[in-house]
Amino acid sequence: MSIEDIGRLTAADESLDHQITDTFAAVASSDLGWTQKIWAALARKDGGLTISFGLGKYHNRNVMDAFAGISRGTEQWTVRASRRLDTDFQTASVGPIHYEVVEGLKTIRFRLEANQTQPIAFDVLFEAELPPFFEKRNRRRSTTRQMMDTVRYHQAGLLSGWVEIDGERQEIGDDWFGFRDHSWGTRGKGIGMPVPDEPPGQNIGNMRLLWGPSLFKRPDGSKFQFMNYWVAGDNWQYSSAHVNEAGNGPDGVRQTEIRSVNPDVRFDPATRRFLGGTYRFELASGEIKNIEVQPLGPSGFHLRTGAYGEWKGGRHGSWRGEYHEDGEYIADVIAELPNLGQFRDAPVMLKDGDLIGYGIQESIFTGVFPELGLTEESDYPTDL
């Protein structure tokens, strides 16, 4: 059933959740960068193994794509899949990669079936430790075009299930931790291949980006999160940072804004891998928190193979035909850094006084930073 100026009816249109005068086969914006994105990073507490997961829905490109990967030390396996969206608007599955909402905002299942592309598989149940928390709306303009207008929430979870590499299976339990996020909106850069006649954006100069959620448990059993998104150029800075915990409000959360973020971090000068440091957080009350952070072992999934940036002829949302599946095994990611870049999901341990927490650290430092020992030789391109 269809009429020319109304989107196709889908099963979701039986619900009473419409937000625009169209069907769920359409979105309000015609921008090719309109995206809904799922991400998860699931890690063993000794830092020896990390699972990364991503799924994207791109209405205006008629694409749904996904990746599932495993990092073990400096080894990395990735499976990618892409399909035509309008054959199934609602199912969040692409080939062997599946995302399932078991109970909204509480329980999620991430699954990679056994496949012909790489000898990896997993089936992980994510059960919320705290409610989800929003970050600040991310809105950014580049010259005449609004390049970014997205919202995102993130959540920490307890994990159970299994992961398998080359036929060897291990159980996932209390020795693991995990985080997920869900974002939607317009992403004007990094979605699909570049438009040939698109004018250049603004020159942002040297860029420093740190993003990461972490979870702590107090002796009384209560839990709280630090969430820090800090990005700065030569003459600009953006920060969205909060202390998050359960609360008595209508949405069940309490968010205390971190008014300023001053990171003192270290990197390997040859690889730009994150080596740790201290975040100096100033809360809105004036209280100062000095949070120590250090990596957990050498693992950490490099996101370029998940199509964060151009990789093997595609990026997020690229049209790859009715169905496309590929992937690769990288025996030593350090040797491939000129192609992979520095952007990765690195598992970390954090200290807030005597309290120990676990989190995921993402970092991108592009340009030359003599004070950190970062020279042109290690300034590998990072195209998001």
Report pLDDT digits (tens) over 16-30. 999 999 999 999 999
CATH number of the domain encompassing residue 87: 2.40.370.10
Q: How far apart are CA 296 and CA 360, in angstroms?
A: 10
Place of tokens 């992980």: 124
Distance of CA 209 to the CA centre of its chain: 13
Q: What is the tens place of the pLDDT at every residue in 289-298? A: 999 999 999 8
Task: Dig out the tokens for 344 from the structure.
Answer: 């990765």
In this prediction, residue 81 has a pLDDT band, given cuts at 50, 70 and 90, of: very high
pLDDT at 290: 98
Residues 6+ apart with CB under 8 A from 65: 55, 56, 58, 80, 81, 82, 83, 94, 307, 316, 317, 318, 320
Report yes or no on 92 lying in a domain. yes
Report yes or no on 26 lying in a domain. no
pLDDT at 203: 63
The H-assigned helical ranges of the chain are: 337-340
DSSP 370: G
Report yes or no on 317 lying in a domain. yes
pTM of the model: 0.95
Distance of CA 334 to the CA centre of its chain: 21
The amino acid present at 180, given as its one-letter code, is R
pLDDT at 384: 60
pLDDT at 193: 82
Q: How far apart are CA 179 and CA 169, in angstroms?
A: 22
pLDDT average, residue stretch 361-375:
95
Q: What is the tens place of the pLDDT at every residue in 145-188? A: 777 899 999 999 999 999 999 999 999 999 999 999 999 999 87
Number of folded domains that form the chain: 1
Residue 380 has pLDDT above 80, yes or no: yes
Residue 381 has pLDDT above 80, yes or no: no
Neighbours of 107 (CB within 10 A): 15
Task: Dig out the tokens for 313 from the structure.
Answer: 């002829």
Report yes or no on 199 lying in a domain. no
Report yes or no on 62 lying in a domain. yes
CA dihedral sign of residues 249, 251, 257, 262:
positive
Q: How far apart are CA 315 and CA 322, in angstroms?
A: 16
Q: What is the tens place of the pLDDT at every residue in 296-350? A: 998 999 999 999 999 998 999 999 999 999 999 999 999 999 999 999 999 999 9
pLDDT average, residue stretch 258-283:
96
CA distances from 325 to 87, 322, 384 (A): 17, 10, 21
Residue 383 has pLDDT above 70, yes or no: no
pLDDT average, residue stretch 257-282:
96
Task: Dig out the tokens for 291 from the structure.
Answer: 């949070």
The chain-wide mean pLDDT, for the chain, equals: 93
Place of tokens 């063993």: 44
pLDDT at 2: 53
In this prediction, residue 195 has a pLDDT band, given cuts at 50, 70 and 90, of: confident
Nearest to 90 by CA among 81, 99, 103: 99
Tell me the helices (H) and strands (E) count for the chain, helix number first: 1, 23
CA dihedral sign of residues 340, 343, 348, 353:
positive
CA dihedral sign of residues 245, 104, 384, 196:
negative
Nearest to 311 by CA among 382, 259, 373, 231: 382
- 170 is in which domain, residue-wise? 32-193+204-378
Residue 134 has pLDDT above 70, yes or no: yes
Task: Dig out the tokens for 375 from the structure.
Answer: 């020279």
| 3-state secondary structure labels for all residues of 28-86 | CCCCCCEEEEEEEEEEECCCCEEEEEEEEEEHHHCEEEEEEEEEECCEEEEEEEEEEHH
Write down how long the chain is.
384
The secondary element (H helix, E strand) that includes residue 340 is helix 337-340
Report yes or no on 174 lying in a domain. yes
Report yes or no on 11 lying in a domain. no
In this prediction, residue 201 has a pLDDT band, given cuts at 50, 70 and 90, of: low
1-39 core/surface letters (b: 16 or more CB in 10 A; e: else): eeeeeebeeeeebeeeeeeeeebbbbbeeebbbbbbbbb
- SS3 assignment, position 1: coil
- Residues facing 178 on adjacent strands: 42, 157
Report yes or no on 24 lying in a domain. no
Kind of pairing between the strands at 120-128 and 75-84: unpaired
CA dihedral sign of residues 375, 376, 377, 380:
positive
